[in-house]
Structure 1
């Protein structure tokens, strides 16, 4: 949506937005003081006048599945493309109503229900002071016995699920052998990303499963360029995070305004720095310089939501086989 048209839309709905509250259901990280939520809240409230944006945080998909049509909220944000089919099948979402021509993801996007607000490549991040010659392929990582790893459980972590599907796409029915090899050099498998990354930064492992953009945080926030993402020849798994409007939204007009706000340059800039991920509606030349300068994977590896759902359980079976050898 053009900036002028977006502003006009907000002015038009300004009367309806008086004293209204937009409730956004989001993951814990999103609404935390170090996440993008606080800046987004300030930015949206400044545009909509006297309305209020409130985050209800927690595990988004389990809440959708558990509460169903009893779920109270207007917008859901933070679902991964690896789990959107389960969310879609709840029947709880309405069309987002936004044009998609501004999107800049490296995959085609024609979804009228879920709107991507960021995307990223999963990557193994290493400490340059510990790993002088990082692997340049997944095949090499499997063979390297001199590198210790920490990563996330695919049953409880979005990053872990992405790794599961990454290996599934590369190795198929041979994936159990991959997991067996990786397990021999794995310090631990954690429930979530924060725990794994914390162990890595504390020096407990040489490499951690994270994102290709993770080093940007260290460069900007800590003036530390000792972290880097290993870029693999085979390509990297791509996931996007999305937002959607609930069919039972108490303030559907305000929810629609928020979806338009997602595509604004202001929101997209907040995502780049607040979420340390690639913005979904900014061309690469408009990304922060630190993000443009990072090594960038050439080949996206991606499952659409149907394939991700189809392969999840078989891939988990192979993971369990490999990890228990």
Structure 2
């Protein structure tokens, strides 16, 4: 099927690391706005927003390695999201984007943060927008606003927590709606808030199905662990990049210059939240995973509070951020509340 909306073009850009697929809006030459997608998705999810941006901006959307039409290079999870962050830096360099607005969704928010903190005085960001970003202390297996590990092995995080039927359906190219673990149904139940159905649903399903699967990609490798719930992250693949033993954002307060940050999230997000349906601490508290050690040893991860703590530290060091929460919105507020999202994004870009 045709996956590009009218007005959107795609090119593969050679960089010093790999060849990266980039979407753009034909004819736009203004200040660049670079969109970075999340896990199990691709640049295709950004198309409606790219077309809706005012003419004075040049919207660009990248496919991360192993997604969409970018080279499917292996992912070294021991660097956290470093492979993706370095790829992003290489693309910014190749496109000669000396001042760019960065917008990162979910895992893409973590990519943007790691890009910034590894280049505190060299980044090219004019502004930063974090859309339902992964916690700065990774996904799963931590508690407290400082991201303390529940288990020293990082148990309860990484590739071992994935639903194998979902992975199988991704690998098989399942476009149906007959199972709650089909990509289509996961999108409708978790990416957006039901009963919202995006006009571009079929395109977004194709975007999800562009995810490479396997040990080097999604979900990655896993290993057994003595602590509950019995698995710990491996060192390869997508989900392990966000394990708290591999990924931790520090040094955001050291950025110089400090771009303004807009943090946008949906009030009904079930993926990145303090009550995430993908967090084993929360699932254990619901009785969905047997053997839960209890709230003192393994409370649900306070993902939202952890991000707020990071940004409060950024503000205390002289930066500024704004948090915007949309009612009736899920993990993709740019999808199910596009008009409100644009109303928050446009002044943020203009004031940067």
TM-score (norm 1): 0.30
Higher relative CO (Cα under 8 Å, sequence separation at least 6) belongs to 1
More helix by share: 1
Which one has a bigger Cα radius of gyration? 1
TM-score (norm 2): 0.28
